[in-house]
Structure 1
Amino acid sequence: MDLSTFPRIPLGTWPSPLDDCPRLSATLGATVLVKRDDVNGLGLGGNKLRKLEFTLAAALAAGADTIITFGGVQTNHGRLTAAACARLGLRCELVLTRDVPLTGFAYDRSGNVALDRLFGARVHVCDTDEEAAYTAGALATASSVTLPVGGSSGLGVLGYVAAAQELREQLDGRRIDRIVCGSGSGGTVAGLAIGADIPITAVSVSRDAEGTLGKIEAAAGLAAEELGIDEPKLHHVDVDDSALGDGYGLPTDEVWSALRLFARTEGIVLDPVYTGKAAAALVTGVRPGETVVFVHTGGVPAVYGYAPDFVVEAGR
């Protein structure tokens, strides 16, 4: 698809690496390639940069001087929005909601929260979605633009349509059986699904399979409107909620085990919220002899928000 007609600001370093992982592959009995969207530079990297290249370009074109967006306390989208705003000279207002039942110095002050402030964002912590909506409304001005949770607007999804095209070029005809990727707000998987006709396992990190598929379909529909195409049929997307555990932001024993596996075989650090759950689903659901691309969507700074558990689990 031709995305050249859409305004776009370069924020990441592309293409991100596609790493062969021989020791991990040998352990799992399958060939695993890792698409390293965690190492793309600005703001310590992550998948949201691809979305922000399109959404912030549109905001600047509209004359915005302030960006307002949402997320949980340890939001990766918020961190990268703050970093991108610092790069572009925009004011950043982060409206964060306590949607994970965790508290303490590490979770409330470290990890992504500390980086938000380091990048100069103003952080507003709310107890409920209603309070967050009110706060965002009070902050809005004629020269502000509000981005949705995860940056998963129609324009944001285009970032992963572009990523799918990038991946196809890197594979250079090499056959893969499926892509495995975590899914929260749905935009990353929606873009991959539109951009590549390859089976995708979308690993739910925040809701059951039905709810996650609904998010992906909604995001794909918004992107289709931007692209001027028919709403895509996502028959090649399968949602796996086996790693969800007790809910968003709550890692399971299997998640910590997956973090140790990736770290000790390949030196790759995952996070306990998104990529850890996606990796846990990969480990338990891997098919002997298959070839899989695992999309590392970033989020590594969040491990410091989980410092008490992380210290214990890292040493097991």
Structure 2
Amino acid sequence: MHLSRFNPLRFAHLPTPLEPLPRLTQALATSPGGGPELWIKRDDCTGLAGGGNKTRKLEYLLGDALANDATTLVTQGAVQSNHVRQTVAAACRFGLECEVILEERTGSNAVDYTQSGNVLLDELMGAKIRRVPGGTDMNAELAKVAAEVAERGGTPYVIPGGGSNIIGALGYVECALELVNQANEMGLEIDRIVTATGSAGTHAGLVAGIAVMGADIPILGIGVRAPKETQEANVYKLAVETADLLGHKERVTRDMVVADCDYVGAGYGLVDQEVIEALKLAARTDAILLDPVYTGKAMKGLIALSRAGKFDGETVVFLHTGGAQGLFGYQSVLDGNLE
């Protein structure tokens, strides 16, 4: 796919491990059909300030930023954004300034949520942070901050929430290629990939990568925010655009994009008991640390669907997008629920 022509920088710890989850597999072998055989793609291990899926995207985004002589990265996310943490880290790595807009999306005023976890790491790495109320037009805020950077003589490079644009999605085209190559080397036949789907870039990049390769592996996104119709439309649009950038727009079809948004709960970043149980089960079987916002909800969905027999007899790879640093922002929510 000649991804090198997009001039990515190389700072992620790749390839990330592809590992079996034997104890979680055993724990979910309760359906009449025996449940799935579970594996995990460890994109929590990409290495940039704790790792996570945004690091792959940032290799391409930083390559583009430096090619355009950027002096300042400008991005946004929720208060406990994993994307923001990794973007701030990338700015440090390459000597750039970083302006961050944090949206108070959940409405939480808890001290751990507003000051610990990813926020603490953002501050440690020197990000310039401004906060805005939930529901703010974040694209308008990004444009405003970028204009301020330009007015004082800097060159801004705007990265959308989650790093989810065509350039960022290339990181997950590359991940799809990496995952298929690893499976081939192991003699592992993958029946399905399951991952969290939010800002759409990871999901779309995987779809585009699998489609362009012709690997024919279904990808299920477990939604963390938007309704199914909205999420699938966002992912499909970005997947088509990404495949078009690679010269194979026609290979992405609408039926390749599937999102199950039944596990969002009360809303983005809001934790219910099923999410806590998913966090506990992953941690207490194969010592996998998930986050409450993305991977915890994706695991909540995976567990429920497995127990309902939806994946019986399949080999399922769970793509771990990282975010365990955010656990510390949810201490007050988890207290008393970890027995």
- Root mean square deviation of aligned Cα: 1.5
Task: Render the CA deviation track for 1:98-131: whole Å, top value 9, x for unaligned.
Answer: 1112112111111101101111111111114237
Distance 2:267 2:19 in 1: 30
**Paired amino acid for 2:299:** A
In the alignment, the residues of structure 2 paired with residue 234 and residue 169 of structure 1 have an alpha-carbon distance, to the nearest angstrom, of 25
SS at match of 1:4: helix
CA distance in 2, matches of 1:96, 1:213: 25
Select which of 160, 168, 187 maps to 1:156. Answer: 168
- 2:7 aligns to what? 7
Name which of 46, 49, 52 aligns with 1:46.
52
Report how far residue 2 of structure 1 moved. 1.9
Per-residue deviation, residues 180-224 of structure 1 (Å, max 9, x unmatched): 000001010111111123101110001111111122122213323
Change (3 A) 1:138 1:131: farther
Partner of 2:295: 275
Instruction: Tell me if the contact between 2:10 and 2:59 (Cα under 8 Å) persists in the aligned partners.
Output: yes
Distance of 1:312 and 1:217 partners within structure 2: 41
Q: 1:207 aligns with which of 226, 240, 259?
A: 226
Checking the alignment, whether the CA contact within 8 Å between 1:243 and 1:281 is kept in structure 2 is yes
* Further displaced range: 288-297 or 133-142: 133-142
CA contact (8 A) 1:153 1:222 kept: no
Partner SS state of residue 68, structure 1: strand
Instruction: Note the C-alpha offset of 1:311.
Output: 2.7
Provide the rounded CA distance (Å) in 2 between the counterparts of 1:131 and 1:74.
16
Residue 69 (1) aligns with residue 75 (2): yes
Deviation of residue 132 (structure 1)? 6.9
- Matched position secondary structure for 2:13: coil
Aligned to 2:33: none
Structure-2 separation of matches of 1:186 and 1:280: 19
- The correspondence for 1:143, drawn from 131, 155, 160, is 155
Q: Does 1:177 align with 2:177?
A: no
Question: How is 1:206-245 mapped onto 2 (pairs within 5 angstroms)?
Answer: 206-230=225-249, 232-245=252-265
Q: Secondary structure at the match of 2:123?
A: helix
Amino acid at match of 1:53: E
Q: Equivalent of 2:85, from 72, 79, 83? A: 79
TM-score (norm 1): 0.96
Q: 1:252 Cα deviation (Å)?
A: 1.7
Structure 2: stretches of 5+ with no match in the other structure: 30-35, 211-215
| Contact 2:75–2:160 under 8 Å retained in 1 | yes
Cα–Cα, structure 1 residues 131 and 154, in superposed 2: closer, same or farther, change >3 Å?
A: closer
Equivalent pair of 1:70/1:148 in contact (CA under 8 Å): yes
Identity, in percent, stands at 43
Check conservation: 1:52, 1:151, Cα contact below 8 A: yes
The residue that corresponds to 1:20 in the other structure is 20
Residue-by-residue CA offset, 1:252-311 (whole Å, 9 max, x unaligned): 211111100000000111000000000000001022222100000001111111111223
Any conservation in 2 of the 1:154–1:224 contact (CA below 8 Å)? no
Between 1:66-75 and 1:121-130, the stretch displaced more is: 121-130
Task: Report the count of equivalent residues.
Answer: 315
SS for the counterpart of 1:38 is: helix
Q: Does 1:165 align with 2:177?
A: yes
Tell me the equivalent position of 2:312. Answer: 288
Offset at residue 42 of structure 1 (A): 1.4
